[in-house]
């Protein structure tokens, strides 16, 4: 409760500086709809979270915050659209670690994610879950590693696509274990799960909500989660570290950014609202339903986080020799 009161108090101070008493637009910003770019399809985790925060921003500012899906290139198409948008506060982008990964993974990227966009707020993170079909008899991470090492090039894993956070999860696994799992990119997790259930893949690194139902009815077996702590959606599934992969930790993170040059007071106002929203019971419930945990890193703190994540992702990309056209 103290966190919520403090965040709301901070937001009120920013609103006052912008001439927005009570959180409703009375002067400069916003006096029309604001666009939130999302780099993935409707129904994806990023899209769901963007809509949760868009509603809270609309409620507080008294203007529409409209989600605009620009799927493709692991979120890089939407990022590039944000880079070229006017820095007037009317374009935001819900970025993910697919963007820090993609900065090194995509050969022809024409912008620098860390330099060409302004940090607003890191709002949430969610685990990736390594799942297999029960039929091949792989009951643990060690069993999958044993199969991969005994038959190099025979274990195929699916992801949501080249440069996605789930692709990163698989390549981090290879980096730490030397397993040599073969990556098969898909346009989203659902088609990858179809091939996993059909026996054409050995494993999929998937977002938690997309596999929760399959795990519950026994069609898929979860081997491990990617985060340092277990997921609330899968409390019985060990972390990678618990499964024996020391040093393995990654999560799909979600954070708002804006075009370079967007005024700091506007970014601060947005940051205060979305971070304060994380203390609301309905937002916490919606995040939990999507396997996500609330975060609250704002402005310069988030910018530093992004710069470090870009460096960390480059190590994995260079190791794996990833070069996506």
How do residues 10-64 score in pLDDT, each as one tens digit?
444 444 444 443 444 345 899 999 999 999 888 888 999 999 999 999 999 999 9
Pair of tokens at residue 273: 């609202």
Using 50, 70 and 90 to split pLDDT, how confident is the model at 316? confident
| Mean pLDDT for the stretch of residues 194-222 | 91
Pair of tokens at residue 227: 């985060």
Delimiting residues of CATH 3.40.190.10 domain(s) in the chain: 128-225
pLDDT at 41: 83
CATH homologous superfamily of 128-225: Periplasmic binding protein-like II (3.40.190.10)
DSSP state of 324: B
pLDDT at 8: 39
Give Cα 6 distance to the centre of its chain. Answer: 26
Domain 2-126+252-320 class in CATH: alpha beta
pLDDT at 96: 94
pLDDT at 121: 98
Pair of tokens at residue 111: 């912008």
CB 119, CB 299: distance < 8 Å? yes
Calculate helix-pair angle for 208-216, 189-197, nearest 10 degrees.
30
Cα 313 from Cα 96, distance rounded (Å): 13
Pair of tokens at residue 306: 């992004």
pLDDT at 192: 93
Please calculate the CA angle 104-54-59 and round it to the nearest 5 degrees. 155
CB 214, CB 220: distance < 8 Å? yes
Delimiting residues of CATH 3.40.190.150 domain(s) in the chain: 2-126+252-320
């Amino acid at each position: 409760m103290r966190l919520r009161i403090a965040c709301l108090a901070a937001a009120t101070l920013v609103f006052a500086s912008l001439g927005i008493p009570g959180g409703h637009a009375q002067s400069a910003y916003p006096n029309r709809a604001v666009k939130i770019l999302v780099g993935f399809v409707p129904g994806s985790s990023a899209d769901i979270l963007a809509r949760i925060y868009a509603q809270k921003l609309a409620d507080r500012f008294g203007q529409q915050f409209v989600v605009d899906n620009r799927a493709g290139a692991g979120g890089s198409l939407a990022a590039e659209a944000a880079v070229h948008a006017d820095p007037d506060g009317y374009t935001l982008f819900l970025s993910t670690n697919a963007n820090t990964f993609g900065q090194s993974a995509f050969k022809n990227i024409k912008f620098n994610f860390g330099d060409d966009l302004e940090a607003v707020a890191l709002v949430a993170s969610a685990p990736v879950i390594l799942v297999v079909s029960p039929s091949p008899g792989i009951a643990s991470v060690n069993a999958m590693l044993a199969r991969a090492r005994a038959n190099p090039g025979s274990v195929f894993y699916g992801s949501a696509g080249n440069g996605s956070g789930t692709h990163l999860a698989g390549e981090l696994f290879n980096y730490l274990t030397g397993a040599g799992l073969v990556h098969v990119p898909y346009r989203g997790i659902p088609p990858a799960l179809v091939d996993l259930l059909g026996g054409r893949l050995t494993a999929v690194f998937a977002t938690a909500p997309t596999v929760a139902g399959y795990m519950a009815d026994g069609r898929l077996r979860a081997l491990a989660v990617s985060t340092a702590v277990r997921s609330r959606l899968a409390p019985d599934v060990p972390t990678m570290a618990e499964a024996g992969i020391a040093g393995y930790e990654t999560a799909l993170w979600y954070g708002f950014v804006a075009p370079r040059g967007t005024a700091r007071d506007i970014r601060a106002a947005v940051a205060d609202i979305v971070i304060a929203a994380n203390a609301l019971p309905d937002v916490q419930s919606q995040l939990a339903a999507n396997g996500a945990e609330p975060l609250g890193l704002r402005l310069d703190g988030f910018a530093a986080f992004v710069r470090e994540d870009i460096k960390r992702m480059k190590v994995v990309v260079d190791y794996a020799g990833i070069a996506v056209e």
